[in-house]
Amino acid sequence: MPIAIPPEQTISEAEIELAIGSGIERYFADCRSRVPAFIDRHFHYPGAVATNRMALGWDMLRAPINLLWAPVYALA
């Protein structure tokens, strides 16, 4: 059963598009405002160290061994 909307509450298509556009703009403005904090947390000291803790540990020790094995794998 359709809901009857009184004439004084009718919303035009232009108003709907304006509301959607405004919501999209606010959403992306909020996302952009969070980017500097994200960069500071993950790509500057000490965040980068925490993010790459594994790479700065055992992987650094394994890299020379992997380089020695590379010719064997290439020939195989």
pLDDT digits (tens, 9 = 90+) for 12-23: 999 999 999 999
pLDDT value of position 73: 84
In the 8-state DSSP scheme, what is residue 6?
-
Collapsing DSSP to helix, strand or coil, 63 comes out as helix
State the Cα–Cα distance between residues 44 and 42, nearest whole angstrom.
6
**Residue 14: alpha-carbon gap to chain centroid:** 32
Supply the pLDDT for residue 4: 66
Give tens-digit pLDDT for 19-70. Answer: 999 999 999 999 999 999 999 888 888 888 877 776 777 777 788 888 888 8
